[in-house]
Amino acid sequence: MKLANNIGLLTFAREGMGSLHLVLAWDEKNLVLIDAGVPGQTDDIVKAIADAGHKAEDLTHLIITHQDWDHVGCVADLRKIAPSLQIVAHADEAEYLDGRTLPIKLAARLQQRDTMTDEQKTAVDRWNDMYTNSPTPVHIEVQDKENLPICGGIEIVHVPGHTPGHIAVYFKEANIIVCGDAVNIRDGQLVGSSPIFTHDMPQAEASFEKIKDYSAAGIVAYHGGFMSL
């Protein structure tokens, strides 16, 4: 789905999770992907990029909105495919991505491991293995209001709450804001981060108001898709 002249929405079905919505943006020199799906989706992402008229090996930037496993699942594979790929994330999120600190939700699940079913233990062990053996290096650490001079101008919007270093990505020229899990779309209504998956709800509520203050023409929620505003 094309959102603007140089922005496309890549949608993937995921059993038990609904659809995941990644964003692809481009200009003459750059090809940018926002978030990287769940493990095992690499082939689907590569095909979707090709269907949009581009090549995955030409990716220059991968912007990670936050640390959760369903946003970093294919990073290692994409780094092998695209030799020049630069990983972009907020400075407060880098330590959870690059292996210095366990992701918040993973650490909580590991503490509960002894009370889990065998199936749940297998799932959390796979999650732990992904972060332990395939950490995500952050090449470009960004801050709130930082501007990247690519794809018509990108502004980084720090929207903590769901995780400490969660970011949204505002495309200035297109007036579209990509919000990861900081927003959701339910029954045609824009709502904030889901409380059961949120690290700091007061922060998340303030971030939701910050996003709305941008008065964007359109918004992308990772689990909800695109909404015109």
104-163 pLDDT, tens digit each: 999 999 999 999 999 999 999 999 999 999 999 999 999 999 999 999 999 999 999 999
| Interacting residues of 12 by C-beta distance below 8 A, sequence separation 6+ | 19, 20, 21, 22, 37, 41, 44, 45, 48
Say which range, 92-96, 185-189, 209-213, has the weakest mean pLDDT.
Answer: 185-189
Q: How confident is the model at residue 17 (pLDDT cuts 50, 70, 90)?
A: low
Phi, psi of 121 (to 5 degrees): -60, -40
Q: Which domains does the chain have, with CATH numbers?
A: 2-228 (3.60.15.10)
Q: What is the pLDDT of residues 182-193, one digit of tens each?
A: 999 999 999 999
The pLDDT mean for the chain works out to 96
